[in-house]
Amino acid sequence: MINKTAADDQNNTYKFAFAWILLTLSLLFAVFFTEWQYLRLNQQNQILFSSAKFSFRFEQLLNSVLKSALSLNIEDKSLSACNTNLLPAMQSVVFNNPLIAGMVISDRGNTIHCATVEINGELPPATFQNPMLWGPLKINKDNKEVFLLEYRMGSYNIGIYLLKSLVINTLKNADSEFEYIGIYDHNNKKIMAGSGDINVINNNLLEQHNHDLVSTTVQQDKSGNIILPLQSLDNVDIIAHSKTQSVYWPLLFIFPGTLLMLSGLSYLLYCYLKKVLLYRYSLQYALNLAIKLNQFYPVYQPIWNISQNRYCGAEVLVRWHSDFDKIIMPASFIDEAERSGIIINITLQLIEKALAECEILLQKFPYFYLTFNMSPSHFLDNDFLSTFKALCIKYHTPAQQIILELTEQELFDQKNDDVVNTMQALRDSGFSLAIDDFGTGHASITYLRRFPFNYLKMDKIFIQAIGTGAVTETLNKPIIEMANLLGLTVVAEGVESKKQLAYLQENKVNLIQGWLFSRAMTGEKLSNFIDTGSNNE
């Protein structure tokens, strides 16, 4: 019996080895057969990636121009006194931004109230689309060709003139990657400006191009035509044609030595991917086990209100107390938790502990609030919000004492009406919403207007730049002014010095969070901290 079992094991070993060899050979043939196509697709992806990068740079250019213009404080009284009040401010914006050739303020009837340049003829007709790019147009006696970037704000239109030559130079920066690249007005079905050989663009594409049918991602057809949708403009897309790429047919006749090398590399890659997958699986297992063992707990970083001279709230941060009696910071596991969906259960565990620990504190100080970090996965989960509201009821926590912070790093889908309606329902119930880490992601003015935020939290990289002369320091005032314009309360994160605090006080930012006042602490220490009313100044 033993000999028979040994013989069976030996046969199984041979069968496995033979099957492994056949599988390896099949995979190698499949790799060689598909490698040439893979490389072609990889080249195409590189073109699309380059296109997306250029589209993003172009968006940044437009957004920087809009931010400069929206920093103006336009009121009826300033329009009536254009030369004394508004015009100098407009001239300052034009002078400080080399991209801007001039500015004009008009009403919905196209009556010009204030302008830094002489306008030839009438302004383009008013439209419901916002913002809009018009042109090319000619202004003043020199008949310089310009584009008009028009943004509707209330009952007034802010017009920003951009020199056509500067826009063309921006397009020329992409000449090395495209045979042609241009700005396409899909309302009038024409190319407004471009660089390169326009003859390579497929005319049928121009005729059939409909903005409503184009997705928000870069598209490329079989002829090499590329469409780059611009989310910051309602009437304009970037249209381009990629350069012809060669086909890597020599891979079909690869030398046997290369075959051996590829086999070795494939084996090493397999080992590496296996290691990564095993690590990811083990981390998921550890996170799920930590939830069962109740190992996640909250710490709190207080928020100081300058105008009220007291602590008005605290941000709830997560910590993991592992089996090895070590405290693990969220940077080590939060990405995996969000990718795997485990973040939902972690957040619920964190919320329940925080509400239980702070129940008496919140009842004693009705003005005090807690803030929790959220991601799109929380709003897409069917049960999260109902469970969250049930916890608030269980621990007698009013909605007015809760703020949900939505990070800018992982943007919400602006076209998802369900998400917008859910956020609005939360606000109507008394909860407040904040956009966290603002300035480090890709949120635009449209994004801020689309979602019902109450607060805007400036990322610490901007705060730490105060007094350093860095480029990021110059963005602080525009961000604060934009938040005020949109009716958002500004919260400054990462305040660590009195110089930073003085700058924020000067710019009327009242809510301060950072080590200058307090580091993160446990719930017990937070209660004592708030009871005594102490701070670290």
382-421 pLDDT tens trace: 899 999 999 999 999 999 999 999 875 555 665 667 788 8
What is the average pLDDT value for the chain, to the nearest integer?
A: 78
Task: Name the E strands within 3-66.
Answer: none
Whole-structure pTM value: 0.50
Q: Which two tokens stand for residue 357?
A: 């620990």
Ranges assigned E (strand) in 408-521: 432-438, 455-458, 489-492, 511-512
Please give the residue that has the higher pLDDT: either 324 or 415.
324
pLDDT at 251 over 60: no
pLDDT of residue 354: 96
- Whether 1 shows a pLDDT value over 50: the answer reads no
Contacts of 56 (CB under 8 A, 6+ apart): 442
Lowest mean pLDDT of 43-57, 88-102, 150-164, 179-193, name the range: 43-57
Whether omega before 136 lies within 30 degrees of 0, making that bond cis, reads yes
Q: Which of 56-65, 170-179, 409-418, 464-473 has the lowest mean pLDDT?
A: 409-418
At residue 466 the predicted structure's pLDDT band, cuts being 50, 70 and 90, is: confident
The angle at the Cα of 381, spanning 378 to 387, to the nearest 5 degrees, equals 80
pLDDT of residue 513: 93
**Proportion of the chain above pLDDT 90, given as a percent:** 25
What's the CA gap between 420 and 111, in Å, rounded? 36
**Which two three-digit tokens encode residue 414?**
């602006």
CA–CA dist 459, 436 (Å, integer): 7
Q: pLDDT above 70 covers what percent of the chain? A: 72
Mean pLDDT of 251-279: 60
Tokens (6 digits) for 422: 């859910």
Return the pLDDT at 246. Answer: 53
